[in-house]
Amino acid sequence: MREIIKEKQKAYAALSSCTSENEKRVREATYKVAKKLAKKVVAVAKNNANVRLYQKLETREGKKYVFKLARAREKKTRDLGCVRCIKGGDGKVLVEVVEIRERWRNYFAKLFNGENEYSLRVKRSEQEGHLNIRECSCITREEVKEALRKKKSEKAVGPDLIPVEV
């Protein structure tokens, strides 16, 4: 099979390197014959591979192999490395790469530098003339008590050097 494909490649190289029209017609005919033969050989090889695969799937180990194949095909269809579309700030779907990057850039700029819910509460408290710690605090006293209660005893001390038991 490999020899036939190599012959086809050689025929194509010879066809692409020829300069005169007569030589081109002769080499084109040779290439077409080699191409047709290579196509048949590849089809037979694929068919034989499929037959072997189906025979393998009929066995007890083949049942496990079916799941392995399904998992591999599902992973191929999953595309996590690339975002193809995203909603813009106005709710429209963005599909262009440049627009998607700009949307992410704006989102993170607003997230890290802009106003979020916490900073708005702090500003409101400062405008009223006092800073209400309870209003700004994200973690409540009850949440701390619950976390300490769930924590197992005799654990290492935290960064404040206070053991959990205390």
Q: What is the model's pLDDT at position 33?
A: 94
Q: What is the model's pLDDT at position 61?
A: 82
**What is the end-to-end Cα distance of the chain in Å, rounded?**
77
Q: What is the model's pLDDT at position 106?
A: 86
Distance CA 91, CA 116 (A): 19
Closest by Cα among 106, 101, 136, 141 to 118: 136
HSE on the CB side for 151, CA within 13 Å? Answer: 16
Distance CA 130, CA 122 (A): 10
Those residues whose C-beta lies under 8 Å from the C-beta of residue 30, and which sit 6 or more positions away, are 11, 14, 15
> With a cut of 50, which residues of the chain have pLDDT below it?
none
| Structure tokens, 9 | 């490649």
28: number of Cβ within 10 Å: 15
Q: Where are the domains of the chain?
A: 2-77, 86-150
Q: What is the model's pLDDT at position 80?
A: 61
Q: What is the model's pLDDT at position 36?
A: 95
The helix/strand/coil state of 90 is coil
Beta carbons of 159 and 165 less than 8 angstroms apart: no
CB crowding 108-133: b at 16 or more within 10 Å, else e: eeeeeeeeeeeeeeeeeeeeeeeeee
Rounded alpha-carbon distances, angstroms, from residue 138 to 84, 120, 121, 157: 35, 13, 11, 23
